[in-house]
Amino acid sequence: MLLNLPTTINSTMTLDSHDKLMETLLQEYKILTEYERLQSEDLSGIYVTPSYGNPFLWFGVIFVRSGMYKDGVFRFTITLPSRFPNDSTTPVLVFQSDVFHPLINPNNGVLDLSDAFPKWQPGDNHIWQMLKFLQYVLQNPEEHTFQSDQLPNNEALELLMENRSEFVARVEQCVEESQQKLYDLPSDPDRYYICFDRFNPDVHGPVLESMKKNEPTEVTTPPSSGLSWVRKGLYQPLSK
């Protein structure tokens, strides 16, 4: 019996490892399904991609096209809880630059999602709904009814309600700062980090002309460099 004991242990360990691997693969498949779901939604001006090395970390950028924050280009990350999507913990959305807003913590950039998601409901709540909420509160902050008594930025709420001109001035400042940081690279590089190149007529010009004519074009740039650009003064990707 002593001779058979190691074999029994090894078999158990192999089964446990196999089960763990299958559980991990299933979870990653569900995360990929969640990502594909948001691609089918109307999220105009929002671009999101999971990290190359960590499926629980997503990179995002929002191009605000209307409202007080118009022309703002705000980078953010989304961190999924460890048991996502079977987890009642709400994912965390963090801005990478200062955004003056009642729902955004000025110290750490975290967006307060409690108004929209008092409790995250697995199966019913999805990342695309978070992004819709993000889009709404940046385009229409004055129309949003703030539910919480303890907002992350009470100063922003007071100015929004009582001193609109000062609030707009603070917003314009963070919009300008976001534009200046558009081309910044991350301190910890990731293959899937969303990067933008300055418009280069030699590289992007043929692609732009092809898009105007709705014709296919041969891509001559390396795949890693991408084909996204932002023309100065417009702050819209692939802008004409």
List the Cα angle 98/100/101 in 5-degree steps: 130
Mind listing the domains of the chain with CATH numbers? 18-213 (3.10.110.10)
Q: Is the pLDDT of residue 69 over 60?
A: yes
Collapsing DSSP to helix, strand or coil, 161 comes out as helix
The chain-wide mean pLDDT, for the chain, equals: 83
For 168-237, strand residue ranges (E) read: 197-198, 229-230
Q: What are the structure tokens assigned to 145, written together?
A: 């009814």
pLDDT tens-digit map of 176-220: 999 998 888 887 789 989 888 888 888 888 888 888 877 655 555
Q: Which residue has the tokens 């293959």?
A: 191
- What is the rounded average pLDDT of the residues 15-19? 71
- Name the amino acid, one letter, at 111: L
Cα 28 from Cα 85, distance rounded (Å): 10
Residue bearing the bigger pLDDT, 235 or 137: 137
The confidence score (pLDDT) of residue 238 equals 43
R_g over Cα of the chain: 22
Report residue 98: phi and psi, to 5°.
Answer: -65, 130
Q: Is the pLDDT of residue 127 over 90?
A: yes
Helices 5-39 and 127-139 sit at what angle, rounded to 10 degrees?
Answer: 40
